[in-house]
Structure formats: structure tokens, C-alpha cells
Structure 1
Amino acid sequence: MCGIVGIVGAGAEQQVDLVQRMRATERHRGPDGEGIFTDQGVALGHVRLAVLDLSAAGHQPMSTPDGRYAIVHNGEVYNYLELRTALDDAGPFTTQTDTEVIVRAYARWGPACLDRFMGMFSFAIWDRKARTLFCARDRFGIKPFYYADHEGTFLCASELKAILEAGVPRRPCLPMIYDYLAWGYYEHAPETFFEGIRHLPAGCYLTVRPGEPPRLHRYYSLPDRVGRQPALSEEEAVERLRGLLDETVRWHLRSDVKIGVTLSGGLDSSTLLALVDRQAVHPEQIEVFSCDYDDPAYSERPWVEAMVKAVGRQAHFTTLGPEECWRSLEAITWYQEEPFGGVGTAAWVPLYQRAKDRYVTVLLDGCGLDDILGGYRSHHAVYLAGLRAQDPAMFDHEFRCYRATWRLTRAAALQDVQCAGGEGRATMAGDGSDPVCPECLSPSLANDGGTRPKFPRPFESPLKNTMLQGLLYTKLPRALRFKDRLSMAFSRELRVPFLDHRLVEFCFGLPDHLLIRDGFVKYALRKAMLGMVPDAVRLAPKRVVSTPQREWLAGPLQDEVAAILMSASFASRGVVDPDKAREWYRRFQSGKRTNSFYVWQWLNLELWFRTLIDPPCVAQAPGWSPEPVVAGVVRT
């Protein structure tokens, strides 16, 4: 993985100093090389993290042999070797990189090359002859791409700070802040938290010519690619799922540097480790990393140890406590650039540091299976809401299973189903609680705020529509951003094999009853992993509250929370009513509200203002805690 920046407009070729400054804000993304390309009306910059072909030949920007096309690329196209064979007749290749394959594929097939790529990518290709910049992002937005049209100049980059360094004013986008505070939505729209800066939507490309506005095009639509699977029996569907899982993991093991696996105590990452053991040539050389908390009530260690024991491995455990977490928040905010997920995100800091200390450059992550196989409690509730009207007898059975799986009273379970069917509150966290507190919005923001965002519902199945929302608009986009920014802060490449588009399309084409059955979410996956993942992990219910954030914000970190809520700067932002926030925080401390997300929202936004809006310059990272977060808290 790498970092890219670009400028298109009159005199852009003379802006080398600016490109260097933009590029410097992303140096953590690429410590192994850097370069700049200029032509009339364009300047492109790149920082490289070497993963394929570690020689200097792999440095970017990279051009085609005839000099017509120049590319800057961030990510990996895993089927580059197969595509390379198809392009051999265009002349010999000079590197062993996927980047050279991408630019040659574009020279051969134009935008249609995107349909042939399997992987995670964002890139920009300059066409000297057509005087056009072609910018593309992978199907599910795994790799970031930001852009702005500023004073007649097009700016693009892998991170927001690079565009801010180019002179775009650092003004908060109030509609995005409203959606965040009122509904808990972020990463759900092309706009960012900075006014005037947008991200290129997943599955899209844009073209830019000097002096003209960018033109956006969609090349991939998941609903258009999903069809019901041809009359597969349960056994055939499970076997096909297992085959796709094996294949995608095999592709994602292509690397010229050390690879590791992140492991939680859940089914998804355990599935990943089991598949790596099946597909890697030397699985014993692939290291395992797991993050943990110093609170035993939230430790996943027993399930992690069960999995590593089953495959004959050892795991590198890192542990996070409240003090270490708090000390790291300013730096995490700088790298994240927008609000992030709280304690759960901070827990990755010592893990990525440990991977770096072990010289493991690439990490495989089990992210995505919940989103494509109906793995959340909200998915389960939506499925039941559909059954309630369509098959009352089946509903009665599955409703009893639902109560047992999530350990709910009948009234609480029924409320979940009613809400999922549109009869109740608009928001629900994984544990069924309310995560937001719109009552504390400032009057001005509340009055100017819009209606609840609506998302496409192209499927007949309510379950599939809910899964699509999470995959493309809510849950997964923000999780991908959290993990990209934090792994890149330590110059580690994070790969997500379970977002292979072929796997996603297959899972969305499965009938609902193969996703959720007999109280089990991800039913087909549990069947597919029989004999590969220990039953203690394979059959365990999903654990919905996985971090001690609630306890830390109410207890060990209460003084830090109170200091922010009492600060003059917090009161001056105009987005949260400070008196109401302090009152609701007292209620939270007394146990009247169980979800801590809205408290985290207030803290996170204030830290964001202090780190990225208030300072005169944001080009320099604030650094981690005075003592490295990993020091003294890693247990192996």
C-alpha cells in the first residue's frame, strides 16, 4: 500500500513544491520510496510501501514504455500475474509489480480494465495524449481516494490532510456532523467532515481535464451483479462457499514481504486463520496477532487460544488499558482525520506496533463476513420481521431461537422485531440499545439538520437490503477507514480477503434461510467451517459488546471526559448543547443509559476540532503517547 496525491489545472506542472508538501503528509503510508511526475497541467506524487518487487524498479510514478500513460497507485490487484500473461504481447515487462500491469491494462482496455481487476485499489492515470486524468476506486471502497475542486484546480489524495495542505479551507461540514450526532451515520455519503472535500464512491471512476469539472462514472453495482444461485442444495451451497473462501485467501497471500493474521475470538478471523493454514505454502511462517483489554470481562483470549491451539500456533497478544488508550487519542484522531470508533479502534494501536516490531508488513483481516452473511443482531431481527408476515409457523420457531441466542426477554425480542419492521425507533446498536442522543444537539444544528438519510433498497429481501446498507453505506465503510488509517500509521498493509467481489456476489445471492437459521447468524459459514474451526468458536453466539468503553468513560476516564465537557472550546462549537451534554453524562454515569457511543461522539468531535480544525497547521503528526502505547502492556 502507498499514498498518492495529484493536482490538475493550469500551471500544475510548476507546483512541485506543493506536491512535495502534500506527499509529506502521507509519508507514513509509504516509507520505502517516493517520486513525482509532471506534465503540462498535471502533477502527481507518490510514497511507496514496497510489497511486490522490492527493488527500485517498483517505485512510482510509473509510465508505459511509450510514455503516454503515467500512474500513481495505492493498493493491490491480486490477479496481476494472470493479467500480465494476457498483456505480454505488448512488450516485455520491466518490473514484477501489479502497478505496471494496471497501467498497461488501462492502455489496452481503457476503463473496462476495472472489470478485470480483483483486489483493493485506488489510482490515478494521466493520459498525455488525451490530456485526461483517470481516477478509480475499488468496488467496495477498501482503499481511500479523496478529491476537491478548489479555485478551478482539481486536487486528489489518499488522505484528507494532503488536500488540506494544498489550501482547501479547514471548515467543518455541518450536515455531516448532524447526520453523525442525530443518526450515528458517517462514511455514508460522498461528503466528508471537511466542507468541500469528497471521497470517490466505491465502484466508481472519474475523469478530469484541466479547466473542466470532474466527471463521475459508476462501473460496478452489486445489486446488478447478484442473481439467485442456480438451484443449489444446502450441501452444494456450503461447498461452493468453502471453495470461494479458499480461493480468495490464496489470492491474498501473494506478497514479497512477511505476512501476518489478525485474530479476535470470533468466527470470522478464526475462519481466516484456518483458511490461511490450508492455502499458505509455509503457514508456520505466518504470525498471528491479537489485541486484548486489561479487563477480563472483555477479553477474547480464551477463544483466541482455542483457535491457535487447534492450528498448532502461538499468538502475539497486545493489551490496552484506559490510560494508554487516552494518551493515544490525539494521534489516532490525526491519522483518522474524521470521527472514529472509540476504544475498539484504539485497541489496534499496540497490535500494529507489535506487527511493525516483528517486521510483518502485510496483515490479513477477517473484516466483511458479518456484512455479507447476515452476521449482526440487526440482520437477525430484520429476517424475523420478514418471516412474521410470510411464514408464521417458521417465525414462531426462529423467534424462540432468537431469544435464546441473544438472551432476551420476550418483550425485548419483540421490540427488536417491531423496530426492524419499521414500527419503532430509528437507531439500534448491536446490543439493541440506543447509541445516539439527539436530545443534546444544539438548537441551531437541530433546526438546520435534515431528515434521516435513506439508502437504496433494490432487493426483494429486507435482509439483503439491510446487509447492503451496512456493506456500502454504514458499518463497513467506516470500519475500512478506521483500519486503513491506523494500519498505515504504522506503515502496515491491511488486506481483507472476504471482500473479494465474487464471494460477496455469491453470498448476496444465497437464500435468506442459508444465512440465518435455527438461531444462528452466518449459518452457511458455520456449516462450511465444520472440522476446520473448533466448535467452541464455530458455534459460539456473536458477542455484541466487545470493548470496555462504557466502563472506562464512566469510571477510570471520568475526569478526562468531564474536563472536555466543561471546556470553553466544547461549549463554543455550536453543535452540542453543553449543559444538556453534561446532564446526560451524569445520567450515563448513574447507569440510566447503557450505550456509551453518544458520550464518545462528543469527545471524539471535540478532539477532532482541536486536532484538525483549530491548529494553524495539521501537516505534522502529533505523535503517540509519551511512552509508546505498546511498552509494558504487551504479553506474549
Structure 2
Amino acid sequence: MCGINGILSFKGSQLDKTSLVKLMNTAIAHRGPDDEGIYTEAAISLGHRRLSIIDTSNAGHQPMSSSDGRYTIVFNGEIYNYIQLKKDLSSYYDFRTLSDTEVILAGFIKYGPNVVKHLQGIFAFAIWDTVEQKLFLTRDHLGVKPVYYSTTNEAFIFSSEIKGILATQLFKPKVDQVSLVDFFRYQRVHAPRTILQNVHVLEPGTYVEIDGKQIKENRYFTLQHTKANSDITRHSAAKEVRSLLEKSMEQQMVADVEVGAFLSGGIDSTVVVGLMSKISSQRINTFSITFSQKDFDESTYSSLVARKFNTNHRAIQLHPHDLLEALPDALKALDHPSADGINTYLISKKTREQGIKVALSGLGGDEIFCGYPVYSAVYKLKQMESFFLLFPSSFYTGLFQGAYQLTSKNYFLKLAESFKGGENYIDNFLLLSRQTYLDHQIEDLLKDVNLKFNSLQGVSSSFRNGNQDNILSLTSYFEMNTYMTDTLLRDADQMSMVHGLEVRVPFLDLNLVSYVMGLPDHVKKGKYAKNLLIESTKDILPEEVYNRSKKGFVFPWKYWMKNELHSFCEERINSFALRAFVKENAIKELWNRFIAEDKSINWSRIWQIVVLEEWLRKNNVSE
């Protein structure tokens, strides 16, 4: 993994591109502590920071140019099928290195932009054609690796991180008001927007070509939710899933440095560690975080798994004072405001301190194997369809509002809101399922707010128009295009790369994802959440792991925010309340209700405001 930067100046520009790209490289130096490079010619300057994983010799230095000098590439990521691609291209191109970077370059020379369709891996890269004076910029199929861009009157700018773009100081950063609403709704901003005006993130499965001031965007991959094969049995599906998982693991364990793994003791991380142990002849290094608060601690299960597979396991116990000490640096590492990610920051830090450069993660397992509560909720709503047709939707709105008043559970409030949309109650529920603030609550907190635009309407429309008999795959499609891409993957990248650690995600192998997305609901649904994954790996999964209640990798934030982190949070809440777009009294009242144990105020609703205020401060965003 690495960091990439670039500035393509427009005709008449007098920008000192090389100096600006040096600043960009410095801003993202943490992504590539092993090497640095800059390429400049009349119209463009490309920058690179290198974390050496494949071909750690100087031959892998970037920016890398083709033998004839026409094409120059900067690349971040890993291409898992590069060895086979290299064989296919060997008669066409004279390779000089062992790196996967040169394989992409050779593929681009042969296939042009269609090279992306031949790549299996995680990537973001740019290629400059000095003859055509054209820049090609792309991102991988599922969005594991990010790339951001901005356009001014003088140039097109891109970087692996927003920090890189802001380092140029070519424009004053301002909050995008549409994105602000998005953040309050979902604790994230959905691609292609970011929290800032004029800074965009390239969407997964997309590339852009920049020719002069003309920017042309093309989508080369779209996650499909196709009609399922209803005849397939769970046994045959489980067998194929196991085969695809093993192939993915074998590919993603390839590196010229030591590979470790995150181990929480949940199903996904246990599967990853179990398969690694079967494939590797070496003892696996595993890492976990434990807590003194027993309700959040999973060390019993991570230790059990570590013993079963004889891993070299390191459990890092986290105390409140440890978090308080690390928090300023962790929040500074956030390249984009997110209510999540601190957990990844801390475990990545400890992993890298042990000399590990690559760690495998179970990220993606919940999305493709239906592990979240939203899957069972949507499935039940679909199963009860005939019941919900008995009475007008207003009846169910009232029913669930009553349940909310009795229990204070936001689940019932969201169900009540869902039925206000009539027959579209299932996709309305999906839109609401991950909302932390409902629209009327946002109106109470922000001034001059426009709620008409919802960034998820496109994904929601695809859900509504999809094959409703395959409701679980449709829900996977929704989750993967929203929460996974714009929260989990973004956080995993920025919070691991700040330590120079590459995180790989074997569950997001394209062949595996495509296969599971095409399976019918009856194959996936069963006694357990993630039933199909359990069935395919039961020989390595301890029963204690899959027979217990699901726990997310969550810190005891509520307790900490009311105790050790109380002053830290309160100061930022009060500061945020003074911003021009905020209703001061409403924000302060929200904090007071949280402290007073109002059950309707979840800790995450407060924490996202704290994180946003801290991010705006650190990046000098005043409006």
C-alpha cells in the first residue's frame, strides 16, 4: 500500500506543481514511510509515498515509467492476480521489475482503460500519457482504496487523502451543507461527496479521464443483485463458498513481508485466522483489543481461537486513560469525519509496532453473509407482507409509535416512520435503519437545512426495483454500497495507513462476492446469522464462537463519555454549538439530555458531533 498525489495544470496556469506535490507527499507521508518519488513534466506532477510489500527492492520505486517513457504511473494497493497477468503480458511487454505496479502499466499499454477489468485486487492509481497529454485515474471495484479529487480554475488535483489536497492551500475549505445533512443522518458522507465543498471521492468501480479541462467519468463495474438460482442447495453453496474463500485467502496472503491478522473472536475474524493457519506453514501473528468492562470484552473468545490455531497472539487491554491519551492523535488521523474508526486506529498501531506491515481483516463478512440485525428485520418485514396489507399504513404508523412511547427504542420509531411512506415501507426502513438523526431531529439542530436531497435515494431505488424474492441479497447490495464503502472501508484505510499498515479484506474477493450475491434467500437463512458462512467453515469454527450472540467491535463509549471523556466531549459540543449553521441551544440541550440518562439519546449521536467538531478544527474549517 502507498499514497498517491498529483496535479494536472490547465493551460495558462503558473502553478509550481513540483513544490505543491512535495507538500502533498509530506501530508500523507505516513502512508509510505519506505520511499518517496516525484515525476514532473510541463503539464503534470505526480507524487508517491511507498510502503514496500511486493518487490521491496528499489526497482519498485514510483512514479514508474514505461520503457519508452510514454506512460507514467503512481499506484496504491495490491493486485492479487498480478503473477498470472504478468505471464499473459510477457510476450507483449519486456518486464524490468518484480512489482505488480509494472504489471498494471503493461496492461494499460495493451488494454487501455479496460485494464481495470483484468485486475483482481484493491487499488487506486493514476497513469499519465505524455503523448496524448491525458490523465487516467481509477479506483477498485468495491472501493477498498480511496482517491479524492478537486478542481480549481488552474488545475485538477488528486490524492489518496483529503489531507493531501488541503496541503496545496489552493482553495479555502468550506463545509458542504448537503453533506452536513448526510453526516447527521448517517454518521458519514456518501460518495461522490465529502464533508467539504469542491472535494470529491471517486466512486468504486469508476475511472475518470482528464483531457485539458474536460473530465469524463466512466463506470466499469456495478455490484449486481441478479436473479438467484433457486435450485441450488445449501450444501453445494457452502462447498463453493469454502473453495472461493480459500482461493481468496491464498491470494491475499502473498507478500514479501510478514502477514498478520486482527482477531476479535467473532465468526469473521475466526474464519480468517483459521484459514490462514491451514494455508501457512508459519505461525500466524494475531492481535486483539480487550476491555476491563466485561460487557464489551471478547478476550475469552479471541484467546480460545488463538489457542485452537496456535497463533502468536497479542491482546492489548485498553483502559479509559489509554484512550484519552491516544484520542487526539486518533482523531487527527481521521482523514474524513466518522463516528467510527478509533478501534481500527488502536489495533493497527499495536500491530505495526510489532513489525507487521500487512494484516488481514474480517471486514465484509457481515455484509455478504447477512450478519447485521437489519437483515433479519428486513426479512421479517417481507415475510409479514400479507399482514401489513390488512390495514392502512397509518394504522401501523400509530402502532409502532405507541411501541416507541412504551419502550423508547428507536427501532420502533423508525418502523413508524417507515410506514408513513405507504407501500414502500421496506426500502423506507432500510433508509432509516442506519440513521442516527431522523429528519425532524436534524431540523431541530441545524439552521436553514434542506432535507429534500437524500444521497441514498439512488441505492434505495435499485433496492425497490430489484428481485424482491431475493431480499437478503438486495439488502447486501444496499449495505455494501453505503455503510461498508463510506464508513468501514474508508475508516479501515485511513486508520491503518496512518501507521503504515496495509489491511486486506479476503471476504471482499470479487469472485466470492459475486457468487454469494447470486444465491437465493433459502440458502443464506437458517438457525444462525451468517448461516452459510458457518456451514462452509464448521470444521474450523469452534462451536462457542458461532453459538453466541453477535457482538460488534465496539468500545464502551457511553460509560467513557460520561466519565473520563466528559470534559473532552462537553468542550467540543459547546464549541460546535457556536458555529453559524447550528442552533446553539438545541445542541446544548441534546448534550444535557444525554448526561441526564435520556434513553432516546444514544451515545453515538453525541459522539458524531464531537468528532465532526474536532475534525473541522484540525483542518481549519471555519464555515
Q: 1:372-424 deviations in whole A, cap 9, x for unaligned?
A: 111110111001111223799xxxxxxxxxxxxxxxx9998988877573687
Aligned to 2:180: 177
Find the counterpart in structure 1 of residue 589 from structure 2.
Answer: 583
Matched residue, 1:427: 432
**8 Å Cα contact 1:74/1:121 also seen in 2:** yes
Structure 1 position 357 matched with structure 2 position 353: yes
Instruction: Report percent identity of matched pairs.
Output: 28
Match of 1:631 in 2: none
Q: Does 1:26 align with 2:28?
A: yes
Give CA-to-partner distance per residue, 1:348-374, whole Å, 9 cap, x none. 333222222211100111100111111
Following the alignment from structure 1 to structure 2, what is the Cα–Cα distance between the partners of residues 565 and 410?
28
The alpha carbon displacement at 1:443 in A equals 6.3
CA contact (8 A) 2:187 2:339 kept: no
* Residue among 149, 166, 172 paired with 1:147: 149
The amino acid across from 2:222 in the alignment is S
Q: Does the 8 Å CA contact 1:319/1:347 hold for their aligned counterparts?
A: no
Q: Does 1:383 align with 2:379?
A: yes
Mapping of residues 113-152 of structure 1, within 5 Å: 113-152=115-154
**Rounded Cα–Cα distance in structure 1 between residues aligned with 2:245 and 2:369:** 13
Q: Secondary structure at the match of 2:250?
A: helix
Look up the match of 1:406. Answer: none
- Is the Cα contact below 8 Å between 1:5 and 1:157 reproduced in 2? yes
Q: Report the alpha carbon displacement of residue 177 of structure 1 after superposing the two structures with TM.
A: 0.9
Q: Which amino acid aligns with 2:432?
A: T
Q: State yes or no: 1:532 paired with 2:543.
A: no
Match of 1:551 in 2: 559
Corresponding residue number in structure 2 for 1:574: 580
Other-structure match for 1:317: 315
Aligned partners of 2:189, 2:426: CA distance in 1, in Å? Answer: 24
Which residue in the other structure is 2:235 paired with?
235
Q: Is the 8 A contact 1:75 1:122 kept in 2?
A: yes
Q: Could you tell me how far 1:426 is from its partner in structure 2?
A: 5.8
C-alpha separation in 1, matches of 2:17 and 2:191? 31
Secondary structure of 1:288's counterpart equals: strand
Structure 2 contact 54–255 (Cα < 8 Å) conserved: yes
Aligned-residue offset at 1:164: 1.2
Contact 1:71 1:103 in 2 (8 A): yes
Shift of 1:614: 4.7
1:440/1:415 CA distance change after superposition, 3 Å:
closer
Pair 68,380 (structure 1): closer, same or farther in 2 beyond 3 Å: same
Q: Deviation string for 1:454-482 (max 9, x for gaps)?
A: 12325213433322121012344311111
Give 3-state SS (helix, strand or coil) of 2:46's partner.
strand
Corresponding residue for residue 605 of structure 1: 612
Alpha-carbon deviation of 1:265? 2.0
Task: Tell me, in whole angstroms, the C-alpha distance in 1 between the residues paired with 2:353 and 2:183.
Answer: 36
Are 2:572 and 1:564 equivalent residues in the alignment? yes
Q: How far apart, in 2, do the equivalents of 1:329 and 1:173 lie?
A: 26
Aligned to 2:218: 217
Structure 2 residue matching 1:291: 3-state secondary structure: strand
Task: Answer yes or no: is 1:2 the counterpart of 2:8.
Answer: no
Provide the residue aligned with 2:202 in structure 1.
200
Residue 502 of structure 1 pairs with residue 511 of structure 2: yes
How far does residue 242 in structure 1 lie from its aligned partner after superposition?
0.6
User: What SS is found at the alignment partner of 2:316?
Assistant: strand
- Total equivalences in the alignment: 587
User: Paired residue for 2:274?
Assistant: 274
Contact kept, 8 Å, 1:77 with 1:118, in 2: the verdict is: yes
Whether 1:463 and 2:472 are equivalent positions in the alignment is yes
**TM superposition score normalised by structure 1:** 0.87
Seen in structure 2, the aligned counterparts of structure 1 residues 463 and 416 have a Cα distance that, compared at 3 Å, is farther
Name the TM-score, length of structure 2 as normaliser. Answer: 0.88
Deviates more, 1:569-578 or 1:315-324: 569-578
Candidates 74, 77, 98, aligned match of 1:75: 77
Matching residue of 1:244: 244
8 A Cα contact 1:436 1:597, kept in partner: no
Q: Is the 8 A contact 1:444 1:574 kept in 2?
A: no
The partner residue of 1:109 within 93, 108, 111 is 111
Segment of structure 1 superposing worse, 290-299 or 320-329: 320-329
The 5 A counterparts of 1:474-485 are 474-485=483-494
Structure 2 gap segments, 5+ residues each: 389-405, 419-424
Consecutive unaligned residues of structure 1, counting only runs of 5 or more, are 393-408, 617-636
Partner Cα distance (1:132, 1:78) in 2: 27
Give SS of 2:503's match: strand
Measure the CA separation in 1 of the matches of 2:20 and 2:604. Answer: 39
Q: Is 1:336 aligned to residue 343 of structure 2?
A: no
Could you tell me which amino acid in structure 1 is paired with residue 74 of structure 2? Answer: V
Partner SS state of residue 65, structure 1: coil
Structure 1, residues 96-121: CA drift from partner, whole Å, max 9, x if none?
A: 11000001001011111111110000
Name which of structure 1's ranges 583-592 and 363-372 shifts more when overlaid on structure 2. 583-592
Distance 2:255 2:183 in 1: 38
| In 2, Cα distance between equivalents of 1:235 and 1:480 | 31
**AA matched with 1:490:** H
Letter in 2 for 1:220: F
| Alignment correspondent of 1:43 | 45
Aligned partners of 1:308 and 1:315 also within 8 Å: yes
Q: Tell me, in whole angstroms, the C-alpha distance in 2 between the residues paired with 1:12 and 1:336.
A: 32
The answer as to whether partners of 1:298 and 1:548 remain within 8 angstroms in 2 is yes
The SS at the match of 2:449 is helix
Match of 1:621 in 2: none
DSSP 3-state at the match of 1:257: coil
Q: Distance in 2 between matches of 1:240 and 1:559?
A: 53
Q: 2:342 corresponds to which residue? A: 346
d(CA) in 2 for partners of 1:504 and 1:20?
A: 39
Q: Deviations over 1:531-579 (max 9, x none)?
A: 211011023231258321111112332232222233xx32321343232
The code of the aligned residue for 2:338 comes to F
Secondary structure at the residue paired with 1:421? helix
1:378 counterpart SS class: helix
Q: Deviation at 1:180?
A: 1.2
Pairwise CA distance, 1:93: 1.4
Native 8 Å contact 1:372 1:504 kept in 2: yes
